[in-house]
């Protein structure tokens, strides 16, 4: 081979090696970026799957997040240690969440998850408005949505579940509206049945069938109270005193609940009775976030019980109340109503 040919080959090599080197560096950089994007995408998907799964689980199995079955679960990941943290806690019963993260190479240890970026550095996480274990999730009612900031070697990205939270807010409004409709239907039905179950005492409803109160008394009774009764369909007996008709059979807990515990419905067993009487399923005892709902059958202007005692059972000359009474349904925490619906009975 001639000397000049050798120089030509060496010249080609001298040009080719930097090109290959630069191509290799670009390829390696792209690979690292792709790995990082893949893991961020997996984290986002895991967050959304966890949220939807835990909402559905809580709705069907728990009366709020302090229920023992749900006490260890959260709607969002939570930080492990101080923030920014390298470890997230995904407290969920859905194993798909962990599979999603394992499949992209994240480290899953029980419910705790760590992920490296494409450069082999641990990602760090900063969370705002996340769901604290064993507590109601009320932040969205104040306009504060969950956000997860993921920091990696060359940048940062935010992960949000805005659409899922907006869906939960809509679900809350729908549930409260349906509960209100059911309560109005219940009261209308009770009032109509008692108005037709009239008293035959002279001077009240002469020559009418026996039973019930006078029509004016029937209209005054807060029949919503029957929704906490064990026998909500029992009609007034028509026997009260020697001088008037009434509801002597409503003197028991089964027909007219005398216990003050029912002034606020805030336990699973109490909701069970109310929803049974309203012909609704147990999913109506929680809002769209799985928070336990509170129900005040007879509420004042602030939504709190009118008194610590139930109303007087139906009887002749029923006492006139202070105008139309109302009920309130919503999420009550430490005396604060985060969301509610007032039901007025006309």
**DSSP for residue 251:** G
pLDDT tier at 246 (50, 70, 90 boundaries)?
confident
- Give the span between the Cα atoms of 171 and 284, in whole angstroms: 10
Kindly report the number of other CB atoms within 10 A of residue 140's CB atom. 21
Six-digit token string for 304: 């709190």
Plot region of 233 (φ>0 → left; ψ -120 to 50 → alpha; else → beta): alpha
> What are the sequence ranges of the domains in the chain?
3-160, 166-344
**Contact criterion met (CB below 8 Å) for 90 and 50:** yes
pLDDT tier at 7 (50, 70, 90 boundaries)?
low
**Contact criterion met (CB below 8 Å) for 54 and 74:** yes
pLDDT tier at 211 (50, 70, 90 boundaries)?
confident
Nearest to 332 by CA among 262, 264, 263, 278: 264
pLDDT for the residue numbered 1? 54
| C-alpha 264, offset from chain centre | 19
Asked if residue 5 has pLDDT above 80, the reply is no
Burial of 184 (0-12, 13-18, 19+ CB in 10 A): middle
pLDDT for the residue numbered 325? 81
């Amino acid at each position: 081979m001639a000397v000049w040919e050798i120089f030509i080959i060496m010249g080609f090599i001298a040009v080719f090696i930097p090109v290959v080197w630069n191509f290799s560096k670009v390829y390696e950089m792209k690979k690292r970026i792709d790995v990082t994007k893949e893991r961020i995408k997996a984290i986002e998907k895991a967050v959304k799957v966890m949220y939807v799964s835990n909402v559905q689980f809580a709705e069907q199995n728990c009366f709020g997040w302090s229920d023992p079955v749900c006490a260890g679960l959260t709607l969002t990941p939570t930080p492990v240690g101080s923030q920014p943290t390298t470890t997230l806690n995904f407290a969920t019963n859905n194993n798909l969440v962990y599979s999603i993260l394992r499949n992209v190479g994240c480290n899953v240890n029980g419910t705790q998850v760590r992920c490296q970026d494409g450069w082999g550095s641990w990602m760090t996480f900063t969370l705002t408005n996340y769901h604290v274990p064993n507590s109601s999730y009320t932040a969205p009612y104040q306009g504060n949505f969950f956000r997860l900031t993921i920091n990696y070697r060359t940048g940062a990205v935010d992960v949000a579940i805005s659409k899922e939270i907006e869906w939960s807010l809509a679900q809350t409004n729908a549930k409260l509206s349906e509960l209100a409709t059911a309560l109005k239907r219940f009261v209308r039905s009770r009032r109509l049945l008692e108005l037709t179950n009239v008293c035959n005492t002279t001077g009240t409803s002469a020559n009418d069938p026996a039973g019930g109160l006078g029509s004016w008394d029937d209209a005054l009774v807060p029949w919503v109270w029957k929704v906490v009764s064990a026998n909500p369909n029992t009609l007034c007996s028509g026997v009260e005193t020697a001088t008037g008709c009434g509801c002597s059979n409503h003197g028991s807990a089964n027909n007219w609940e005398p216990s003050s515990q029912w002034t606020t419905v805030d336990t699973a067993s109490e909701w069970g009775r109310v929803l049974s009487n309203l012909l609704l399923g147990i999913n109506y005892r929680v809002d769209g976030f799985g928070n336990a709902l509170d129900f005040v059958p007879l509420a004042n202007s602030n939504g709190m019980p009118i008194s610590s005692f139930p109303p007087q059972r139906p009887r002749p000359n029923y006492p006139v109340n202070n105008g139309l009474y109302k009920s309130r349904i919503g999420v009550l925490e430490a005396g604060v109503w985060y969301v509610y619906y007032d039901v007025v009975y006309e």
